[in-house]
Structure 1
Amino acid sequence: MQRIPVIYLLFCLVILSSACKKGLEDINVNPNKSQVINPEFLLSTSLINTAYDYQEDAYFDKPASAGRYITMVRNEGNDKFDWGPQSWDGNYAKLSVNYEMMDQAKKQNVPQYIAVGKILEAFNFAYLSDLFGDIPYTEALRLKEDRILHPKYDQQQVVYPALLQSLKDANDQLATLTNGVDATADVMYGGDPLLWRKFANSLRLRMLLRISKSYVPAFTDMQAIINDKVKYPIFESNADNAEVKYLGDVGANSWPGGPMANGFEEFNKRKPSKEIVDALQQRNDPRLGVWIAKVDSLSGGTVDTKPYVGVPNAIPAPYDYNGGTVHISRLSDMFKSNSHPMVKATMMTYAEVCFILAECVQAGKITVAGKTAESLYYDGIGASMKYYGVDQAATDAHYYDQPSVKYNGTLEQLIGQKWIAGFLKGAEAWFDNRRTGFPKFVLGPLSASTSLPKRYIYPTGERDTNNDEYLKALTQFGPDKQTTLMWYLK
């Protein structure tokens, strides 16, 4: 199914749902056209745009630089962390479409779309809060119904528990409903309610770990999920991954590095970072050749003569590093295709769930029947290796026996492997670094900050159109700076 532009769809929704002036209702009704939108059509749009935009951030935008997967060799602002105010219009546009889907589902008595909508809503609102901190939540999306033009900001410590409850409710609803969502509209899970429940509960694990420093019930709630996998199923293999394929037929449905979406020159501005390339080479990691291309010329490199060369972040003239383009690696060819079976719009993976559980078991916060922190750590690595078709190569090369890979019980090692497994699969590397300090990324000499940004700065438009609520928010949140810690990081 093709991706529908959000702005166009929102325009249609406004036209369909706007109230007519009294006395004009009848003449403004087209008897030959439906006055409602079926939820399944809105689901496909909400799901595709959620997955595609989240993935585009992870490859094309600031999370890719903050996670040290990508180095920009042109237009280097992302790498230098001089980010400035960021827009959230696209985030709220997706939430508006999803909200309309749930509203139509309620009116048409198809509750399965409400349940799935709650999961997508929680994913999008959580990501917004992860990026900014306190956000408009309870009064957001209520312009049409309640004419709220200036929504208040809700504190993160209010938003996150509400989203966690919404995910729990969605799981419980899907467990009792007899009808699933339309399989053709659900481009991720084909309408399978069990897979949606696994996503909801796995997402709960991610979110609970993220806020565990500041949220007392976090590990108790995680243990409740783990103790009853019938009631609270979670990801059990790569087949459960929350990800959407790229069709590659038009630019809007193509991987953002492909020629239909952005062209080769845009692809060529993004090089693999030195940190990820070095980490893979030091471990003789078989994923290296899957993700990274060899340099065009092995002779003439000025600082590095290895076959794979990543570019450091925030350095002068990064395009000239190591003697120039022919002496630095590109991403592999699969990242410059319009679609590829191993390049999808990924929201969450089984590998990530393994590492989440490994971290919590290792810290002594939860127990997992039949598992140890060590076995879960290896499960996470193995899931990633299998996804990219190099699991047997890893075994044959005794990858797991290397001192740098063999489990040693440290958080640094565990998060390091989680970072590698999450290559270009979301903002988790940046968020994990904020939370744990690992991996220990190198900022670069031209970095505008002495540390990785802790958040996005609120959009400029908020000061122009919602200034009173914006200023009220800052009295509780703190200065609107990249360095201000949000609730769960304090």
Structure 2
Amino acid sequence: MKHTIIGALVLFGMATQSCTKDFTEINTNPNETKVATAHALMAPALVNTLSANMIRNRNFNNELMQVTVDISESDGKVFRYDFRATWADYLYNAWYSELTNFKDMEKVARDPKSYNRSYIGISLICQAWVFSMLTDTYGDIPYFKSNLARDSAVFEPPFDTQKDIYFDIFNKLDTANVYLNNTTYGINANSDPVFNGDITKWRRFGNSLYLRLLMRISGKAEVADVAIAKFKEVAETKKSSYPIIDTTEQSAILRWTGAGPLVSPFLGVREQDFRGPGVGEFFINNLVNWNNPLIDPSKGNNSVNRWRIAPYQGGYSGVPSGYQMGQAPVRRSYFYSQTTTTLFNLQTDALTGQMLNAAEVQFMLAEAVVKGWIAGSAEAYYTRGIKYTIKQWIPAWDEVTDYIDKADLHWNDSGSEDEKMEAIHIQKYYAMFLMDMQQWFEYRRTGHPVLPKGPGLRNNGVMPARMNYPVYVQSTNPTNYKQAVSRQGSDVISTEVWWQKP
């Protein structure tokens, strides 16, 4: 399906980018405008969004969160909380570009000639998902009048407050839940690399995303009561009206088949670069201490070193994060690349397109019980979270009780709330492996899991609270940029976003 778009270049990364060349050619015809179908827009937007997420997960989130450590003597290194302003451009551009496609998808699906409430609901969920990542990364952003350069000539949109953005995202998710509570309107399975056309799974994803975002703002005093009450409604009192992800088969994962356009973006990374970072000492030591079946072919049921980490001197050994300049350690264990093994490797693995999985949901519910928001057993949710983390990658695995016993990961119901939060979030950290920037977002929200602090850290040794706005925004949207900075705080990585502040 070929379609045309009007316009050439849209300022500050909100370019009108419809289906990529992997799916269809982009043509520009000023005399005729053909509209793409919703299904033609959906798959490219999902693939492009996940591709951006995975690239920045690998070289930004993983470095901040000590999954990996770059072995380098140069400055400007993410793992030292020291990154250049230009790091901000990539995600800002990529996410706003794909929001154009998701919004176009909604517009087409609302047209009486092509009306389809399922595509509308899915589009609203995808918009909520992308906007949530944008605002959690940068803070206040263009929202209500974003992506209007082509149709309405809004080239300098105002920056909206994170509070207003969050509550409109909630409106989108509530609307999507209603729209998807009707399977009369099917979708093209070929347009859906996440759920293969299963509308009910999209609905579960949307409601699980709702829980994630309600929990994220629950520490903000001015909205805490509202957020907690809605969380309880979705998870407990009206849960029949808000189905959520509760099995690994329902997890939201874009599966890279290796066919056609569904080729993992990790394959675009040179093999020597993919192997370059060492595995972080914090990341690997826990897995070793627990005898986790995801890393050793001799442990677990049908395990084949599922995360494909190279051994070092007969075992696994990581490198400390935050080391000082001039003291670069020797790289030890690392993630295999595609030609270093005939077994699984993350460059080609089908499951690296993580969006939101069943384990994350279980850990959210465990936290909600600990905090008294909902009834139930925190231990049961915690145990299922551990089980689902491993089972997501090794479907045949079903030995959680034995694993918890041997790893000494028993739930301590008499522990303090902080101790319970650490127990939940160190496991959630592994459940969110490869999931865009979620480990970073959750650490900023909770301070868990507790990460070791290396002597070479910048930013006063404090985890960065945001990315700065792209430098070019200052010149292309100066008035609104200045208003946003005046309201939010200096455009630096130490300025906390709205939900981080008490």
Q: TM-score, with normalisation over the residues of structure 1?
A: 0.86
Q: What is the one-letter code of the residue matched to 1:440? A: V
Query: Does residue 102 in structure 1 map to residue 118 in structure 2?
Result: no
Partner of 1:219: 228
Match of 1:481 among 492, 496, 500: 492
Change (3 A) 1:93 1:473: same
Q: What per-residue deviation string (whole Å, max 9, x for no partner) do you get for residues 433-475 of structure 1?
A: 1111111112322222211101111110111111110001112
Could you say if the C-alpha distance between residues 308 and 407 of structure 1 is closer, same or farther in structure 2, counting changes exceeding 3 Å? Answer: same
**Residue 311 in structure 1 maps to residue 327 in structure 2:** no
Q: Tell me if structure 2 keeps the 8 A contact 1:67–1:427.
A: no
**Partner residue in 2 for 1:61:** 59
Measured after TM superposition, the shift of residue 230 of structure 1 is 2.7
Which secondary structure does the structure 2 equivalent of 1:346 belong to?
A: strand
Structure 1 equivalent of residue 291 of structure 2: 284
Partner Cα distance (2:160, 2:95) in 1: 16
Matched, 1:355 2:391: no
State the shift of 1:36 in Å: 2.1
Cα distance in structure 2, aligned partners of 1:84 and 1:320: 20
The partner residue of 1:142 within 116, 129, 148 is: 148
Name segments (4+ residues, structure 1) moved above 6 Å.
10-14
Q: Is the CA contact (8 Å cut-off) linking 1:287 and 1:390 kept in structure 2?
A: no
Equivalent residue of 1:243, what SS?
Answer: strand
Partner SS for 1:229: coil
Contiguous gaps of at least 5 residues in structure 1 = 21-27, 299-306
Are residues 395 and 109 of structure 1, via their aligned partners in 2, closer, same or farther at CA, if it must alter by over 3 Å?
A: closer
Corresponding residue number in structure 2 for 1:295: 311
Question: 1:406-444: per-residue Cα shift (whole Å, max 9, x none)?
Answer: 001411111111112222233222112111111111232
Aligned residues of 1:42 and 1:101 also touching (Cα < 8 A): yes
CA distance in 2, matches of 1:137, 1:403: 46
The separation in 2 between residues aligned to 1:374 and 1:42, in whole angstroms, is: 42
Deviation digits for residues 300-331 of structure 1 (CA, Å, limit 9, x no counterpart): xxxxxxx101111232579962xx34xx1112
What does residue range 243-254 of structure 1 map to in structure 2 within 5 Å? 243-249=253-259, 253-254=262-263
Deviation of the 1:45 alpha carbon: 1.0
Residue 411 (structure 2) aligned to one of 407, 410, 424: 407
Q: Which moved more, 1:81-90 or 1:123-132?
A: 81-90
| 1:318–1:255 Cα change, 3 Å | farther
Q: CA deviation at 1:488?
A: 0.7
Structure 2: unaligned runs, 5 residues or longer = 2-14, 297-304, 414-419
Contact 1:43 1:185 in 2 (8 A): yes
Cα distance in structure 2, aligned partners of 1:376 and 1:455: 30
Deviation by residue 1:79-127 (Cα, 9 ceiling, x = unmatched)? 1221232111111001111111222222232232221110000000000
- Whole-Å Cα distance in 2 between the matches of residues 392 and 238 of structure 1? 12
Where 1:313 maps in the other structure, the secondary structure is coil
1:90 and 2:94 correspond: yes
Measured in 2, the distance between the counterparts of 1:202 and 1:161 equals 16
Inter-partner Cα distance in structure 1 for 2:253 and 2:323: 34
- What is the alpha-carbon distance in structure 1 between the residues aligned to residue 328 and residue 83 of structure 2? 24
Contact 1:248 1:338 in 2 (8 A): no
Partners of 2:395 and 2:178 in 1: CA distance = 37
Contact preservation (8 Å) 1:382, 1:391: no
Letter in 2 for 1:386: K
RMSD: 2.6
Q: What is the distance in 2 between the residues matched to 1:296 and 1:281?
A: 12
Number of paired residues? 452
1:372 aligns with 2:377: yes
Match of 2:417 in 1: none
- The one of 280, 289, 294 equivalent to 1:273 is 280
Mean Cα deviation higher: 113-122 or 276-285:
276-285
**Cα deviation, residue 247, structure 1:** 2.9
Question: Offset at 1:8?
Answer: 7.0
Structure 2 CA distance for aligned equivalents of residues 480 and 461 of structure 1 = 13
Match of residue 255 from structure 1: 264
Which of 401, 405, 428 is equivalent to 1:418?
428
Alignment of 1:146-185 (within 5 A): 146-176=152-182, 178-185=184-191
Aligned to 1:229: 239
Listed as ranges, the matches of 1:111-130 within 5 Å are 111-130=117-136
CA apart distance, 1:198: 0.1
